[in-house]
Structure 1
Amino acid sequence: MSGARARTFHSQSTAAEFAEPAAGTAERVFPSLAEVLVAARRLQGVARRTPLERSAWLSERAGADVWLKLETQQRTGSFKLRGAYNAVAALSKEERVRGLVTASAGNHGQGVALAASLAGLAPAVVFVPAGAPEAKKRRIARHGADLREVQGTYDDAHHAAEAHAARTGACFINAFSDPAVVAGQGTVGLEIVQELPGVRTVLVPVGGGGISGGVGIVARAMGSGIRVIGVQTEATSAMHASLAAGRVVSPPYGPTLCEGLEGDVDDRGLALAAEVLDGVVLVTEAAVRRAMRRLFQEEGIVAEGSAAVGAAALLEGAVEGIEGPTAVVLTGGNVDGDRLAGILAERD
């Protein structure tokens, strides 16, 4: 996809619409920078402080200094442990004994499963789409969770998890809009600004908006003009479409390599994105495949599709006005071996 075809939503035009919750919408509760700092303390000794490394080939391609935040090296293979553990650690004693349930495309489920184990709680119940990558499903079960597969999409798994919570009283850990989850994901942004204080732009994958919202909260609190740009694919464009509409909408979805970005957003996630993101761009699935291939060829990095969208945006010229330093968050590396082998065998 050429830069001319990239479609961008700039959130400044509608952020004011979300200053207060509309009647009937979810309560507007965003974590503060102070809560992100509390999450960082909770995560010490649990989550890794992942490397931030300069990418020579992406810097050359973008015409600016580009750094990669390697959440591919995080425990469980993705950033999701940060938010999941922080949310579990923030629960009251009464909430903990009720048990945990969540929905996941794979990575959040691993995070919740491990967090429950580390906290000495009963195994978490994790609902996943039956078509989720086998590697992710195996690892969720390996961390001790009660894995339950649901026919259909991520949204079907999400609804099943909510129904389980209503039926049993278990605590539902929302994968993207729980304030404690967002605060935990925000520690990614905290590490970036600490290690790269001159950072001008951060590219972050967007699904429900947890990590992009957390990083955006940190960037806004710094008051230093850091742009936070979200990236989705044309087949996983719920946040892009909802921001453009000024309300939650459910666009048509297509086959995708980026299962971690699939599914609808909710009112709280949308409101946060409108407040803290400077834009959302869309890239093609073909661009994601190329980015996965180039990340492996040039850097030796195994990135799953959802993680590679930021690199795809740079390769395709989808983000205007790139200045360095730019940080690209590679959110995870949990990809089935057969899928990766097929992508690496392709030619540009």
Structure 2
Amino acid sequence: MTLTLADVRAAHTRIKDRIHRTPVMTSATLDAKAGARLFFKCENLQKIGAFKARGATNAVALLSEEEARRGVVTHSSGNHAAALARAAKLRGIPAYIVMPSNSPQAKFASVRRYGAEIIECEPTIASRESTAKSVAERTGATFIHPYNDARVIAGQGTAALELLEDVPDLTDILCPVGGGGLLSGVAVTAKSVNPEIRVFGVEPAGADDAARSLAAGRIMPSISPNTIADGLRSALGELTMEEIQRHVDGIVTVSESEIVNAMRTIWEVLKIIVEPSGAVGYGPLVDGQLDLAGRRVGIILTGGNLDLDALPWMKPGE
């Protein structure tokens, strides 16, 4: 299925009363540092603390009554897990969430708050997928993929729809990429609204499957991704790969130190909490890796869920 702007607009109409229209923040300090005008779309202030609320809510809303009665199942390191648990609770249906054993405790707690059943698995993509398949076979629940699902991608694209309504003259958008659901939705939306907008995905160097996949022209999954940005350890899916190839201008990778510096800068200057995955979009501007001087740049801060007792700049024992 090829995603269209009409799909994204329909998704927004469907979910807008069940999500936040998140604010766009600016900072003269960060503008001066980058030599550009920066507009931060604060999805860390979204329901469940991440943009994932958009796609999950849209997907669950589109289930038939028969599908809904059997519930939903997914695998996720945290934010999609909480988003699907919340969406299921809003519709009054069961949710079964497969989570890697190394997911942050804050994300386990978030899923539990929405009453979903958690099934832990080994922290590998293969284990996530096989465990979710087993749960679906046992329960009859409908599998809602974290990103490789047209309903989810359309929902994620609503973040860009709002951003471009609030700041219509953007020249560039920087968006974190893990599985590619958000980047796909953002790119389709942005290019449909204004084909001249440049859209860049940003990912950790330790989980650089999107950059390698785009260069190779086929999916090149990371076998053992290694990054503090736990939400970006997923591999691209077939749907997201197609949309990224079609619409994204490039993929930029950032180091672990750039991720931590981006996260800390956002905390200190914008005075808001973002998780490592959520700060990745700002990473290329921390040390001037990406020159966007004189441009008007939208940056999507994707989430704000993390363990406050294990911040990345803390020394062991603090």
* TM-score strictly above 0.5: yes
SS of aligned partner of 1:327: strand
Partners of 1:218 and 1:295 in 2: CA distance: 26
Tell me whether 1:195 sits opposite 2:160 in the alignment. Answer: no
Residue 176 of structure 1, CA deviation: 0.6
* Other-structure match for 1:119: 91
* Other-structure match for 1:96: 68
Q: In percent, how many aligned pairs have the same letter?
A: 38
Tell me whether 1:46 sits opposite 2:57 in the alignment. Answer: no
SS of aligned partner of 2:234: coil
TM norm structure 2: 0.95
Tell me whether 1:78 sits opposite 2:50 in the alignment. Answer: yes
Deviations 1:168-187 (A, max 9, x none): 43211011121010000000
* Other-structure match for 1:330: 301
Q: Judging changes above 3 Å, is the alpha-carbon distance between structure 1 residues 266 and 166 closer, same or farther for their aligned structure 2 residues?
A: farther
Partners of 2:292 and 2:22 in 1: CA distance: 27
* Other-structure match for 1:66: 38
Runs of 4+ in structure 1 displaced over 4 angstroms?
Answer: none
Whether the 8 Å contact between 2:124 and 2:224 is mirrored in structure 1 is no
Equivalent of residue 56 in structure 1, options 7, 11, 28: 28
Number of equivalent positions: 316
Residue 299 of structure 1, CA deviation: 1.4
Partners of 1:210 and 1:143 in 2: CA distance: 23
Whether the 8 Å contact between 2:96 and 2:135 is mirrored in structure 1 is no
Residue 155 of structure 1, CA deviation: 4.5
Whether the 8 Å contact between 1:231 and 1:283 is mirrored in structure 2 is yes
Whether the 8 Å contact between 1:104 and 1:158 is mirrored in structure 2 is no
* Other-structure match for 2:270: 299
* Other-structure match for 1:315: 286
Equivalent of residue 265 in structure 1, options 236, 242, 247: 236
Counterpart code for 1:72: N
Residue 156 of structure 1, CA deviation: 2.2
Residue 42 of structure 1, CA deviation: 1.3
TM norm structure 1: 0.87
Partners of 1:167 and 1:318 in 2: CA distance: 48
Tell me whether 1:31 sits opposite 2:3 in the alignment. Answer: yes
* Other-structure match for 1:107: 79
Residue 291 of structure 1, CA deviation: 1.0
Partners of 2:208 and 2:19 in 1: CA distance: 29
Residue 322 of structure 1, CA deviation: 4.8
SS of aligned partner of 1:208: coil
Structure 2 runs not aligned, ≥5 long: none
Partners of 1:139 and 1:162 in 2: CA distance: 23
Whether the 8 Å contact between 1:200 and 1:323 is mirrored in structure 2 is no
Whether the 8 Å contact between 1:233 and 1:309 is mirrored in structure 2 is yes
Counterpart code for 2:151: A
Deviations 1:17-75 (A, max 9, x none): xxxxxxxxxxxx13211111111111122100000011222211211100111111111
5 Å matches for 1:184-223?
184-223=155-194
Partners of 1:196 and 1:213 in 2: CA distance: 20
Residue 147 of structure 1, CA deviation: 0.7
* Other-structure match for 1:5: none
Partners of 2:269 and 2:292 in 1: CA distance: 24
Q: Judging changes above 3 Å, is the alpha-carbon distance between structure 1 residues 252 and 103 closer, same or farther for their aligned structure 2 residues?
A: closer
Whether the 8 Å contact between 1:83 and 1:182 is mirrored in structure 2 is yes
SS of aligned partner of 1:332: coil
SS of aligned partner of 1:235: helix
SS of aligned partner of 1:213: helix
Residue 144 of structure 1, CA deviation: 0.8
Partners of 2:128 and 2:223 in 1: CA distance: 18
SS of aligned partner of 2:295: coil
Whether the 8 Å contact between 2:19 and 2:46 is mirrored in structure 1 is yes
Residue 254 of structure 1, CA deviation: 4.3
Whether the 8 Å contact between 1:235 and 1:252 is mirrored in structure 2 is no
Residue 167 of structure 1, CA deviation: 4.6
Q: Judging changes above 3 Å, is the alpha-carbon distance between structure 1 residues 155 and 185 closer, same or farther for their aligned structure 2 residues?
A: farther
Structure 1 runs not aligned, ≥5 long: 1-28
Deviations 1:114-145 (A, max 9, x none): 000001112x0000100000000111011111
* Other-structure match for 2:313: 343
Whether the 8 Å contact between 1:80 and 1:107 is mirrored in structure 2 is yes
* Other-structure match for 2:209: 238
5 Å matches for 1:107-186?
107-122=79-94, 124-186=95-157
Residue 278 of structure 1, CA deviation: 0.8
Partners of 1:191 and 1:259 in 2: CA distance: 26
* Other-structure match for 1:21: none
Whether the 8 Å contact between 2:89 and 2:115 is mirrored in structure 1 is yes
Aligned CA RMSD, in angstroms, stands at 1.6
Partners of 2:109 and 2:175 in 1: CA distance: 26
Deviations 1:204-234 (A, max 9, x none): 0001111111011111111341111000011
